[in-house]
Amino acid sequence: MNALNSSFVRFILRWIVCSLGLWIAVGILGSDKISYGSKISTVIEAGFILAVVNVVVKPLVVILSLPAILLSLGLFMILVNGFMVFLASKLFTPLHVTNFFIAILVGMIIGLVNYLVTAIIEER
């Protein structure tokens, strides 16, 4: 059995990608738009919450919004990813996102980080 096919390993990788994406998003957008405090442990915890939200809530939201996703040729997923970031910021108060538009940008940044990490892992 391949180690990357394990559900636990995939969750840990998702957690790392979410944490890294949040950290990069703060660096790009600035701490006035998205903030997690000054501790690295807080961004790791926020990444965990976001990974859990993506595993538990996102599949249900995707199924419920499937008509909008199909009609927009997948572009509605940008809003779904933004909603997941916004929901994680409401569930974990040390992570502060100023508005939904910033959450959409953070979701896009996390998606790009996820794409890069996946490309690096699959290349090996």
Q: Residue 118 contacts by C-beta under 8 Å, 6 or more apart in sequence?
A: none
Is 2 within the bounds of a domain?
A: no
Specify the pLDDT at position 3: 56
Instruction: Give the chain's domain count.
Output: 1
- 62 belongs to a structural domain: yes
Q: For residue 93, which amino acid is it?
A: T
The span from the CA of 7 to the CA of 102, in Å, is 30
Tell me the residue range of the domain where 19 lies: 11-123
Residue ranges in the chain modelled with pLDDT below 70: 1-5, 124
Asked, for residue 31, whether it belongs to a domain, the answer is yes
Residue 5 lies in a domain: no
Q: Is residue 3 part of a domain?
A: no
Q: Which residues pair with 34 in a beta bridge?
A: 97
Q: Is residue 1 domain-resident?
A: no
Output the pTM of the full model.
0.89
